[in-house]
Amino acid sequence: MEFLLPFQYDFFIKGILVSVLLGGICGLAGVYIILRGLSYVGHGLSHAAFGGAIVGNIAGMNYYVGAIIWSYLASFVIYEISKRNKIKPDAAIGLVTTAIFAFGVLLVSMTNRYTRNFESLLFGNILAITEQDLYIIVSVTILSGAFFFLLHKRLVFSFFDNESAKISGIKTSYIELLFSFVLATIIIVSMSSIGVTLLASVIVGPAISARMLSNNFSNVVFLSIVIGCVASFSGMYASFFLDSSSGPTIVMFITLAFGITAIYALIKKIFHTHSHGGISHSHPHIHTDEHRHEHTPR
């Protein structure tokens, strides 16, 4: 049976597993990103990680090490700039991450050290994933999932109503910084599979689609994970028969999911408006399952 043909190859099965894992964890992280109103952060940190990977490689280190050092440094600098200088985080993200990316590209041009490894980081090559890469991706997925599960209430409270969270005793600054480190780690392990230039879509695409389907935060989280996994699986599977690059194909399926949900949301809104005699009721914010009490779990 031809539709089972891709699963006869070990490299493809490995690619499917990686794409589903990354689609799910990126979809989960994306929900918290849009809740915080920082959709640009995924794009920015991926560029910082790429610049760090180049610097690390030229310095003789594993590119993972360079990417971790520089993306964590970028997260900390962005946090400090936005906290101490009253600069909006998206402005700090644009400045800091682009500077690191430019520094990496500058070093490449000066040393003539451009390799196919850098190209795979830019555009992704999920079929070139090694056993070591797979173990790292599985570990990061599990640990990141545990982070979001254990700190769910604090994250939602801090991102949804920062001032109230501070009053309740939650150290929102540390929560936000820790979230940035976790997000940077997810981005780093995703770079070689999906590519720096495409990663932002994989992070925010499923979350935006899920947001159009529900106002309930728990539902949005679940739907975003499902959309990320299904779109990644579908894109990976289709790329085999289309003989296309897996990263761009996955992004196209995520975009397709967005288009379908946008049309569904529009039709639903039209019918909702008609059913209320032409009066439209809009709910622009996400409803969380958390209730604000005086005593917040710590």
- Per-residue pLDDT tens listing for the chain (298 residues): 777 888 888 889 999 999 999 999 999 999 999 888 777 788 888 889 988 888 888 888 888 888 999 999 988 888 888 777 677 777 888 888 889 889 888 888 887 766 666 777 888 888 888 888 899 999 999 999 999 999 988 888 888 877 888 888 888 888 888 998 999 999 999 988 888 888 989 999 999 999 999 888 899 999 999 999 999 999 999 999 999 888 999 999 999 999 999 999 888 888 877 666 555 555 555 666 554 444 444 4
Q: Residue 98 has which token pair?
A: 């682009």
Indicate the residue type of 50: F
The pLDDT, as a whole number, for residue 170 is 83
Architecture category of domain 8-274 in CATH: Orthogonal Bundle (1.10)
The pLDDT, as a whole number, for residue 124 is 83
Sequence length of the chain is 298
With a CB cutoff of 8 Å and minimum separation 6, the contacts of 116 are none
pTM of the shown model: 0.85
The pLDDT, as a whole number, for residue 130 is 86
Q: Please, is 202 exposed, middle or buried when counting C-beta atoms within 10 Å of its C-beta (0-12, 13-18, 19+)?
A: buried
The pLDDT, as a whole number, for residue 143 is 96
3-state secondary structure string, 29-74?
Answer: HHHHHHHHCCCHHHHHHHHHHHHHHHHHHHCCCCHHHHHHHHHHHH
Instruction: Give the domain ranges of the chain.
Output: 8-274
Q: CA 39 to CA 282: how far, in whole Å?
A: 22
The pLDDT, as a whole number, for residue 295 is 46
